[in-house]
Structure 1
Amino acid sequence: MADIHFGTDGWRAIIGDDFTNENLVRVADAAARIFKEEALASGRSAAAPGTLIVGHDCRLDAHTYARLAAEVAASHGFTVRLTQDYCPTPTLCWSVAQDNDAVGGIMLTSSHNPAEYLGVKLRMADGGAAGKGFTDRVEAALSEAPTVARGACEEVDLMTPYLDVLKQRVDGEAIRNSHLRVVVDPLYGAGRGYLAGLLRDLGVEVCEINSDEDPTFDGLHPEPIPPWVDRCIAKVPELGYDAGFINDGDADRIGAVDEHGNFVNPHRIITLLVSHLAEDKGLTGRVVSTITASAMLARQCKRLGLELTSTPVGFKWIYAEMEKGDVMLGGEESGGIGIPGHVMERDGLLMALLLAETMAQRGMSLGQLVDDMFAKVGKLEFDRRGLAITEDQMANFRSAIVPSYAPKSVCGKKVVAVDRRDGVKFSLEGDAWVMMRPSGTEPLVRIYAEAETVDEVSDLLDAAAAAVTA
């Protein structure tokens, strides 16, 4: 039996290696036990502890695995509803939040990981991610051997009501009148067909790529960043379309491409959407983002008079701030952006619709919107790398670099602040910064940098890589 641990957002493993029927049964059984403990503590009965909803993405045999997880959960007395077909993670989250009897959800996905991976995300009654305290209890409840107990589950249509609500959350008339033309790239993931259909229903001309049923993902990693988005980057200007929208494997993240084929990274999308929500839609509240957020977002919030709250990496920390209330939007550097007025979780489909709405209401192309944003808050470049390092290097990174590495300057830029909440981040003069942290989902150290030019960013990343591998 595998040694199972929940990372930044769930447990993930290679299908047929550690992701097996036996290990999935252990995880589903342990999760159901803890969900039941929570249900009993809230006054529900052991005979009727509530409903659990189970979803899955487009990975190999995902529906079969999801049914197995659903039947294991049902053996604990839950009413279990299983999605009829693949669905985005935000669909599961929204479905749980809308069901008054639901105590949580189990989503089988491996998000942005390569096709050979599958995993489990756990969601609470409000649709938000299970916190570390909850997943620690699930880990402690894992049995040595898989249970043989099974119960009955019901397959249901999760998609129709969710898609109907998404269309109601944007200005359909403005979008229809704008005659937008958009490339949609689901990267073979769970947004396949759904985002394209939504946009077509709203009168948008759509070309969908990377949308075949292919559990190998044609060799692409379903992560909405270069180089995996290169096909979309090429397709938008080839067709002369207005924009491209890209989702990750479970469609809770977004990336975009402007009409010229320029990649619009999540930093710029978040900064743009904050302006749209506040200025065009009249929303108020805090903006919450992770420690890896762009300084452009801080400038935007200052310009609009909005409070910005910073958290460690991982949407579960943003969710914790959403629980406190008064949050307009929460977003992370990897492209996960959520609006708690919709659901306490990321939603890549809704963010694509909001970008289309911004273009329609302002009468501007995506490239023009970005240029207008630069004129108001300035332009910064960003990049990140994943470093595969040795166990000795990782041990040194955790024991020496994270707690005590303290240069006075990096690449000639003075260090003006240090943040060690999640790895170590050095804020530099001129709003530049560089950060190093161990990945919560892969055996890597991630390094991040932002500065005024691409060359400066590259130099900062090189300096960080040298420090990590020294």
Structure 2
Amino acid sequence: MVSSSVKRSRSADRSLDRGLDRRIDGQQPPSDRSGQSGQIEQSGQPGQPEQVDQQRFNPIPTTRCLVQPLPTAPLFGTDGIRGQAGTLLTAPLATQVGFWAGQVLRCHGETGPVILGQDSRNSSDMLAASLAAGLTTAGLEVWNMGLCPTAAVAHLAMGNAGGIMISASHNPPPDNGIKFFSSDGTKLSSLLQQQIEAALRGQGLPHTSLCSTEETTSIQWGRAYQRPDLVERYVDFLYQPFQPHPDLSGLRIVLDLAWGAATRVAKQVFEATGAEVVILNGLPDGDRINVQCGSTHLDQIKTATTELNADIGFAFDGDADRVMAVDAQGRVIDGDYILYFWGQTLKQADKLPNDTIVSTVMANLGFERAWEQQGGKLLRTPVGDQHVFAEMISQGAMLGGEQSGHILCHHYSLTGDGILTALHLADLLKQAGCSLPELVAQSFETYPQRLKNVRVEDPTVRCNWSQCEPLQQAIAQAESDMGDQGRVLVRASGTEPLIRVMVEAASADLVDYWTDTLADQVVQHLG
């Protein structure tokens, strides 16, 4: 006997079928002129195919599912593979990336599952499924955590075959990315990334087609599992330095979760500390991730922190591997300040080898000179947390990061973790016994600094910007004009089609003049 619930379900299904075309365009189903319903009038001559009404049917671009030629420029940039979903990052490409990454990992003896995670972008599900298909075709097991911060993937990758995070970090919603972690929780080495790309291009590893007609009975197939429960292991890891939880009671904290990966854990993590927590942009939303919010758009967090008279506000990016802070006066506490405060704390505890902090060429001169006055040393690297990490390993340093909010403290983690950093900064503030504005007043005064981004679509032009003679002449003139009281940094972004122009000087007028002048040169000769 069929149960009543099943009968109701089938009845509902028939209702859905009858109403389908009404929902497509909001109109009643068509009927023929004779009044006999259910017969749809055909267009065109008998025996000819019906003409599609383009106003009612907008086909999905075939670029989403066709194998596209690989770009001549390298796929792997400063943070894995990044580009627009459906254009560069398609399902076929992601499947091939997963397959060849699996082959490379197996060739290097990695065993265990590959940990997969993603941010909230609309294309992340597609890329996750495609990567899992490629990895399992290569014979590897996949544990998919779903929505989670990048640092969760890095942490869970330790002791396993590796990890893959699907995210474009701070980029806008149409973009996405694929970044890899090794079995020790660090970013995959450049050598292994090069091997994956070489295999994708038919070089390096023996070429094996995904559509091979060879006998497949002996091939080991991997399995894919949904493992959202693993995120709780990451949450437990965040609390380990504090045992059992950091005590942030008495603090009012505002969190801007940027509609991204931080929405999975940040509210839970901070509420467990006893703090009063106010959440902005706190649901996963692929249409709004990073849009006028998060670590690269600080107006919302500044307004909320000021109006609520909060002790501190934190803004994360789309995958929560970076964080920016603000105080109750709306002042931005960027990575330079975070490194300075955390560096002081570690130095006083004799946990900062050689009193050394590693940062990048973007670090403010005010920060560098203040740290040197404390008896410390600041080492600079090119932009990119992978460069910071490499220098930290080379020098035996325990603290490093970027002005943009990527912070690495090797006492606790081997990768950038915005939530971990925010917890430690909030704990530092609680232990200081003073307000954040007072803490800032005791630190350093920044030199005026301005960053201007100029869009340059041609990747070849971007990569060869340094060969532009008029721009080089303008840079030389700027450096001569400012002397040792300023500096110029022009570079191609490794994650976006941008040339970044940064000028820093003792005078704000000089900064504005030379930033605009150099940006105009980029537009004129490269844009």
Q: So what's the TM-score if we normalise by structure 2?
A: 0.76
- Any conservation in 2 of the 1:2–1:23 contact (CA below 8 Å)? no
Aligned to 2:248: 176
Aligned to 1:116: 174
Amino acid in the other structure paired with 1:154: Y
Q: Alignment partner of 1:141: what SS?
A: helix
- Any conservation in 2 of the 1:289–1:332 contact (CA below 8 Å)? yes
Aligned to 1:147: 210
Tell me, yes or no, if structure 1 residue 214 matches structure 2 residue 285: yes
Larger strand percent: 1
Tell me, yes or no, if structure 1 residue 458 matches structure 2 residue 526: no
Aligned to 2:398: 328
Aligned to 2:260: 189
Tell me, yes or no, if structure 1 residue 263 matches structure 2 residue 332: yes
Aligned to 1:22: 92
Cα distance in 1 between the residues matched to 2:222 and 2:306: 52
Cα distance in 2 between the residues matched to 1:356 and 1:197: 15
Of residues 231, 243, 250 in structure 2, which corresponds to 1:159?
Answer: 231
Cα distance in 2 between the residues matched to 1:339 and 1:349: 13
Q: So what's the TM-score if we normalise by structure 1?
A: 0.85
Tell me, yes or no, if structure 1 residue 95 matches structure 2 residue 156: yes
Amino acid in the other structure paired with 1:167: Y
Amino acid in the other structure paired with 2:282: S
Deviation at 1:250, TM superposition (A): 0.4
Deviation at 1:401, TM superposition (A): 5.0
5+ unaligned residues in a row in structure 2: which ranges?
1-67, 203-207, 213-220
Q: Alignment partner of 1:461: what SS?
A: helix
- Any conservation in 1 of the 2:123–2:176 contact (CA below 8 Å)? no
Of residues 117, 120, 126 in structure 2, which corresponds to 1:58?
Answer: 120
Q: Alignment partner of 1:383: what SS?
A: strand
Which structure has the bigger radius of gyration? 2
Aligned to 2:60: none
Deviation at 1:300, TM superposition (A): 4.0
- Post-superposition Cα deviations, 1:146-178, rounded to whole Å, max 9, x if no partner, equal 73696312222232121112123248777335x
Q: In 2 relative to 1, CA 2–335 (structure 1 residues): closer, same or farther, beyond 3 Å?
A: farther
Of residues 243, 246, 250 in structure 1, which corresponds to 2:312?
Answer: 243
Q: Alignment partner of 1:191: what SS?
A: helix
Aligned to 1:420: none
Q: Alignment partner of 2:363: what SS?
A: coil
Deviation at 1:50, TM superposition (A): 3.3
User: 4+ residue runs of structure 1 moved beyond 6 angstroms?
Assistant: 171-174
Deviation at 1:205, TM superposition (A): 0.4
Deviation at 1:190, TM superposition (A): 0.5
Cα distance in 1 between the residues matched to 2:86 and 2:473: 40
Of residues 130, 134, 140 in structure 2, which corresponds to 1:68?
Answer: 130
- Any conservation in 2 of the 1:129–1:319 contact (CA below 8 Å)? no
Q: Alignment partner of 2:380: what SS?
A: strand
RMSD over aligned Cα atoms? 2.7
Q: Out of 259-268 and 195-204, give the one that drifted further.
A: 259-268
Q: Alignment partner of 1:287: what SS?
A: strand
Q: In 2 relative to 1, CA 219–242 (structure 1 residues): closer, same or farther, beyond 3 Å?
A: closer
Determine which structure has greater relative contact order: mean sequence separation of CA pairs < 8 Å that are 6+ residues apart, divided by chain length.
Answer: 1
Aligned to 1:425: none
5+ unaligned residues in a row in structure 1: which ranges?
416-428
Q: Alignment partner of 1:60: what SS?
A: coil
Cα distance in 1 between the residues matched to 2:436 and 2:211: 53
Cα distance in 2 between the residues matched to 1:250 and 1:117: 13
Deviation at 1:283, TM superposition (A): 1.6
Deviation at 1:75, TM superposition (A): 2.6
Q: In 2 relative to 1, CA 273–51 (structure 1 residues): closer, same or farther, beyond 3 Å?
A: same
Cα distance in 1 between the residues matched to 2:390 and 2:423: 25
- Post-superposition Cα deviations, 1:94-140, rounded to whole Å, max 9, x if no partner, equal 1112xx2x132111111111011111001112221123322221111
Cα distance in 2 between the residues matched to 1:119 and 1:36: 23
Cα distance in 1 between the residues matched to 2:259 and 2:489: 31
- Post-superposition Cα deviations, 1:229-268, rounded to whole Å, max 9, x if no partner, equal 2111111111121111011000001111111122222222
Tell me, yes or no, if structure 1 residue 126 matches structure 2 residue 184: yes
Of residues 362, 366, 381 in structure 2, which corresponds to 1:296?
Answer: 366
Tell me, yes or no, if structure 1 residue 81 matches structure 2 residue 143: yes
Of residues 374, 382, 387 in structure 2, which corresponds to 1:312?
Answer: 382
Deviation at 1:206, TM superposition (A): 0.6
Cα distance in 1 between the residues matched to 2:469 and 2:151: 36
Cα distance in 2 between the residues matched to 1:402 and 1:283: 47
